[in-house]
Amino acid sequence: MIYMPSCLYSKEFPDLRHKLTAAVAQGLARRNGPSIIFFRADDIGVLSQPFQQMMLLFQKYAMPLNLAVVPVWLTASRWQKLQCFPPTSGLFCWHQHGWRHANHETAGRKQEFGDSREIRHLEEDLLRGRQRLASLMGNHFLPLFTPPWNRCGAAALSLLEEHGYLGISRNHGALPPAPSGLVEIPINVDLHTRREKNTDSSLDALLLELQDAVVSGAVGVMLHHQRMNGNAFTLLEQLLIVSRQQELVPRSFVDILCR
């Protein structure tokens, strides 16, 4: 599979830290108080060079990172390699990202756990994904679900609650709503799967997303390391620096679930 960086990263931006700082500061002023921030990295399973570069940045700035792991992609040897970033550090939170990240819809938007599938197939894929990750990761696995493409159907949501998952992370405002037994941890800032066609307008849209997310009280940032080039890593590092300098409170999914 070939991943392409967003047009946002086709050039360098001057004064990037200043622009990010201004967006956060304006959001905090509108909120009149602190906000939490969390980062979620999707499509995890292989120790690639971009993955290592991303992880090293989060280690450098002591920022928690929530990693959505595709069960089929993870093997015992791959998990062993991923542990060069120790799960015991408390920075990294590992959870489930579907089963094999495969689309099962014949029309409409992509979904792996949509309502067009029979519930027995949904349950089978959900549970074998959980069992695979739990057997490989042991106590480092968090029973929380991020659906591929940030969407799933009502049947899948009911199954998550039935089988004791603690929460779900999707896009802000995703439908259908999760049942009361699942904690929603929504994403509202997208760094790497942006749709704008113009580089400058893409940065403007990202800064507005960031400001609005701060105002909401919870900044949820979605990452896709396979789509990152040098400019993308520069923006991520500047955002981590700004997050540490401003009144943004870092959180992992475990922190959020325990509050």
Please state the rounded mean pLDDT for residues 111-137.
Answer: 98
Residue 29 has pLDDT above 70, yes or no: yes
Q: How far apart are CA 222 and CA 239, in angstroms?
A: 13
Please state the rounded mean pLDDT for residues 128-148.
Answer: 97
Distances (CA, A) of 75 to 44, 49, 102: 12, 18, 18
**Residue pair 24/214 in contact by the 8 Å Cβ criterion:** yes
Residue 86 has pLDDT above 90, yes or no: no
What tens digit of pLDDT does each residue of 147-159 get?
Answer: 999 999 999 999 9
pLDDT at 87: 78
pTM of the model: 0.96
**Residue pair 95/145 in contact by the 8 Å Cβ criterion:** yes
CATH second-level architecture of 7-257?
Alpha-Beta Barrel (3.20)
Residue 1 has pLDDT above 70, yes or no: no
> In this predicted model, which residue has the larger pLDDT, 36 or 197?
36
Average pLDDT value over all residues in the chain = 95
**Domain ranges in the chain?**
7-257
